[in-house]
Structure 1
Amino acid sequence: MTTQNAPVLLNVDGRVATLTLNRPEVLNAMDVPMLREIVERLKEVESNDAVDVLVLTGSGRGFSAGGDIKSMLSSTDESAFLPVMETISEMMITLYSLPKLVISAIHGPAAGLGLSFALAADYIFAEKQSKLAMNFIGIGLIPDGGGHFFLERRLGETKTKQVIWEGKTMGADEAFSLGLVDQLVEVELQNAVSEKINEWLHKPVKAMVKTKAILADANKQKLLNVLELEKYGQQEMRSTKDHREGVQAFLEKRRPNFTGK
Structure 2
Amino acid sequence: MTIESTTESVKLAIDGRVAVLELNRPEALNALDGEMIKGVTMTLKEICKSDDVDIVVIRGAGRAFSAGGDIKTMLSNTNESDFYHVMDDIHDMIVTLYSMPKLTISAVTGAAAGLGLSLALATDYIIAEPSSKIAMNFIGIGLIPDGGGHFFMEERLGETKAKRVIWEGKTLSAGEAVDLGLIDEVPETDFTDAVEGKVQEWLAKPVQAMIKTKKILAEKNRPSLLKILELEKYGQFKMRQTEDHQEGIKAFLEKRIPVFKGK
Bin the TM-score by the shorter chain: over 0.9
* Equivalent-residue separation in structure 1 for 2:72 and 2:119 (angstroms): 20
- The superposition leaves residues 129-165 of structure 1 with CA deviations (integer Å, 9 ceiling, x where unpaired) of 0000000000100000000001111100000000000
Letter in 2 for 1:62: A
Match of 2:26 in 1: 24
For structure 2, the 5+ residue unaligned runs are none
Identity %: 62
Match of 2:212 in 1: 210
SS of 1:184 mapped into structure 2 = coil
Q: May I ask how many residue pairs the two structures share in their alignment?
A: 260
Instruction: Tell me if 1:2 matches 2:11.
Output: no
| Dislocated runs of 4+, deviation >6 Å | none
Matches within 5 A, 1:47-196: 47-196=49-198
After superposition, the CA RMSD in angstroms is 1.0
SS of 2:147 mapped into structure 1 = coil
SS of 1:9 mapped into structure 2 = strand
SS of 1:260 mapped into structure 2 = coil
Letter in 2 for 1:30: L
- The superposition leaves residues 46-66 of structure 1 with CA deviations (integer Å, 9 ceiling, x where unpaired) of 111100000010000010001
* Equivalent-residue separation in structure 2 for 1:187 and 1:202 (angstroms): 21
SS of 1:64 mapped into structure 2 = coil
- The superposition leaves residues 28-84 of structure 1 with CA deviations (integer Å, 9 ceiling, x where unpaired) of 000001100011000011111100000010000010001001232244444210000
- The superposition leaves residues 206-259 of structure 1 with CA deviations (integer Å, 9 ceiling, x where unpaired) of 111000100000001100000000000000100011011111111111111100
Letter in 2 for 1:243: H
* Equivalent-residue separation in structure 2 for 1:221 and 1:76 (angstroms): 29
* Equivalent-residue separation in structure 1 for 2:73 and 2:237 (angstroms): 17
* Equivalent-residue separation in structure 1 for 2:25 and 2:260 (angstroms): 32
Match of 2:35 in 1: 33
- TM-score normalised by the chain length of structure 2: 0.97
* Equivalent-residue separation in structure 1 for 2:36 and 2:19 (angstroms): 18
* Equivalent-residue separation in structure 2 for 1:205 and 1:145 (angstroms): 27
